[in-house]
């Protein structure tokens, strides 16, 4: 029997686990949308140690992990998004072996409590339009689509929805 997840702030020792979850979840979610090579390129650029460590260590950002038996199985990273003057979910991913177990929902609750404590009243996420699982999750947790745009991910163009939620 698997232990229940522990939800806590991320530590520097979690970087490799976060990278592993990113690789597994990005390939599961986006290979069919963006292609495996584009996913690898995004992971190689966005998930370098320094990028994750700076998010963990940043005073204005919050980075939480879900851990089972000392293994990271999910994470969420939120913080200010100055161009849109709101806070944003930068990253929210769960190991595909743990999908549909409430881990993403619980990570979101951790982030929302932290945002509430920071007096943040609204926040957003960006979701690829073809990511049906991601869109369904955000809609089921109270987010509403407020904008749409084209985005470039390492040479691949995709439609992205901006979804927003009031706390």
Tens-digit pLDDT profile for residues 24-71 = 999 999 999 999 999 999 999 999 999 999 999 999 999 999 999 999
- pLDDT > 80? residue 2: no
User: Does residue 25 sit within a domain?
Assistant: yes
pLDDT for the residue numbered 9: 98
User: Does residue 56 sit within a domain?
Assistant: yes
User: Does residue 150 sit within a domain?
Assistant: no
User: Does residue 147 sit within a domain?
Assistant: no
Q: Indicate which CATH number applies to the domain containing 85.
A: 3.40.630.30
pTM for this predicted structure: 0.94
User: Does residue 139 sit within a domain?
Assistant: no
User: Does residue 96 sit within a domain?
Assistant: yes
User: Does residue 131 sit within a domain?
Assistant: no
Q: List the domain range (segments joined by +) for residue 115.
A: 6-120
From its phi and psi, is residue 85 left (phi > 0), alpha (psi between -120 and 50) or beta?
left
Mean pLDDT across 162-166: 96
Number of domain units in the chain: 1
Q: Do 87 and 79 contact (CB within 8 A), yes or no?
A: yes
Give the 3-state secondary structure of residue 106: helix
- pLDDT > 70? residue 122: yes
User: Does residue 84 sit within a domain?
Assistant: yes
């Amino acid at each position: 029997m698997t232990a229940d997840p522990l939800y806590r702030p991320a530590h520097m020792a979690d970087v490799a686990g976060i990278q592993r979850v990113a690789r597994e979840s990005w390939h599961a979610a986006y290979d069919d949308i963006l292609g495996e090579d584009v996913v690898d390129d995004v992971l190689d650029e966005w998930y370098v140690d320094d990028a994750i460590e700076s998010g963990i260590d940043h005073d204005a950002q919050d980075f939480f992990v879900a851990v089972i038996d000392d293994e990271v199985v999910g994470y969420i990273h939120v913080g200010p998004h100055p161009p849109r003057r709101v806070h944003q979910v930068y990253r929210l991913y769960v190991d595909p072996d743990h999908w549909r177990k409430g881990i993403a929902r619980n990570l979101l609750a951790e982030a929302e409590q932290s945002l509430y404590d920071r007096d943040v009243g609204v926040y957003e996420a960006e979701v690829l339009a073809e990511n049906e699982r991601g869109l369904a999750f955000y809609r089921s947790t109270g987010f509403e689509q407020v904008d749409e745009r084209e985005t470039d991910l390492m040479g691949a163009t995709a439609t992205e929805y901006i979804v927003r939620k009031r706390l």
